[in-house]
Chain A
Amino acid sequence: MSSRIAQIRLVSSHPEVYEPCDDSFALVDALLADRTNLLQHQPALCLELGCGSGYVITSLALIVGQEAQYIATDINPHAVKVTHETLEAHGVHAELINTNIASGLEERLKGLVDVIVVNPPYVPTPEDEVGREGIASAWAGGENGRTVIDKMLPVADTLLSKKGWLYMVTLTENNPAQICLQMREKGYASRILVQRLTEEENLQIIKFWRDSDLQVAEKENKTVPAKDMESLLSDFHIFPFLRGSHDDSS
C-alpha cells in the first residue's frame, strides 16, 4: 500500500525558513522505507527536533496516522509558524513549540517518546555561526558539523521511551560511524536506512534503537564485543563503493 507524504506544493515557506531539500527528502524516504515497522511499532508520541518547513513532521503524521500525537520544535520562530501552516494544509496536527532543542519538555517528557526524527544543522562551519538568528542556524553545525548534533543526541536519549526509535540525518563529514559508537555506549543499536550522494553532499539516514543486550553490557561495564564493532563500522566502509549509485532506498 502506498502512503501519502507531504506535498511540496502544500508546504508553506518563509525567506528565513529552511526549504525541504535533498536531506529532508532522504529522511522522509527512510521513514517510508521503514513504514511497515513504524506501523507495527504503534508509537503514541512522536517528536521532531528542528522542524523547519514542517515537511518531515507532516509526512510522519501522514505515514503513521493521527492515532499518535506529534510534537515539533524549532529554535526559529518563523519555522514553527510555517510548520503550522504546512500541517494545516495537509489536515494533520502537531503541537508546536518554539524552543532550543526540547528545552522545557525534558523533565515531563522523559522516557515517553516512541519516535524522534531529526534533520539537524549538520554543515561544518566556524563555531560562531551556530545558532545565529535567521536562516544560517538551519544548517550551521560548527566543527565537523557536530555542535548541534552532539547537543541533540543526549536529549533524544533522555526523551526516548524503552521502545523508542531515533531517525537522524548525518553527513559523512559528521563522522557517523563515531556517532553510532557513542550511541552504542548508551545502549543503542543502529542501522543506515538510506545513503544518498547528491551533487554536494554525502548523506546518511541512521536509525537508532535501544538494544537490551547492549544495555546489559553497559550495566556490567563490559565493552562492546569487537566483532560487533567491526560489523557496525563495515556499514560505513562499504559506502565508498556505493558512489555513483544514487540511492539504495528504492
Chain B
Amino acid sequence: MRLLTHNMLSSNIKGVTNGFPLRIEIEKVVEKQVEFNPDFLKNMFPKIEWKALVNASHSMGYVELPEEVEPSRLDSEDFLHKFHHALLELHLEEGALVCPETGRRFPVSKGIPNMLLHEDEV
C-alpha cells in the first residue's frame, strides 16, 4: 500500500466522525521505484492532505518532507522528487491501519489493506 492510498482511506465504521487519517502500525515497509511523473504530482498535490502525508512518511522512516508547504514549491524539482518518493515509492507491506477514533485495526497483509467491516460496525 502506497501512502497515496493511505491519504485516500478513512475509517468506515458506522458512527465514526473523525476517521482520518488512519494511524499506521508498521511491521514491514518496502521501497519500490516508480517512474517520476511531475504532471501527476502537480495534479494530485491540491488533493493531498499534506499533514497526513508528512506524518505517515515520518512513521515509515522518511523525514525529508517539509511540515508545511506552499504550492510554489511545486516548481522545485528537488521537492517534487521527495513528494514522489513519499507518495508513491514507500509501501506498507505488513502492518495495520488503525482508526483514530475507535482504535479498531484494519490489517494490511502483502500490501493489501482489509477494510471489511464486521456486521455490528456497518
Contact = CB atoms under 8 A, between A and B. Distances in A.
B4 A44 contact: no
Nearest to B1: A95
B88 to A, nearest CB: 8
B12 interface: yes
Contact of B112 (A69, A96, A104): A96
Interface residues of B, number: 31
A81 B47 CA distance: 28
A99 B44 contact: no
Contact of A112 (B47, B106, B113): B47
A99 B37 contact: no
The DSSP consensus for interface residues of chain A is: loop
Nearest to B19: A107
A66 B35 contact: yes
Nearest to A100: B116
B2 interface: yes
A75 B43 contact: no
A95 B4 contact: yes
Given A95-B4, A105-B8, A81 B116 contact: no
B117 A103 contact: yes
B9 A108 contact: yes
Given A66-B35, A84-B110, A108 B10 contact: yes
A81 to B, nearest CB: 7
Interface string A70-95: 01000101001100100000000101
Given A105-B8, A108-B10, 9 more contacts: A44-B44, A67-B37, A67-B39, A69-B88, A75-B116, A93-B34, A99-B116, A105-B9, A107-B19
Nearest 5 interchain pairs by C-beta:
A99-B115, A104-B115, A104-B12, A98-B114, A95-B5
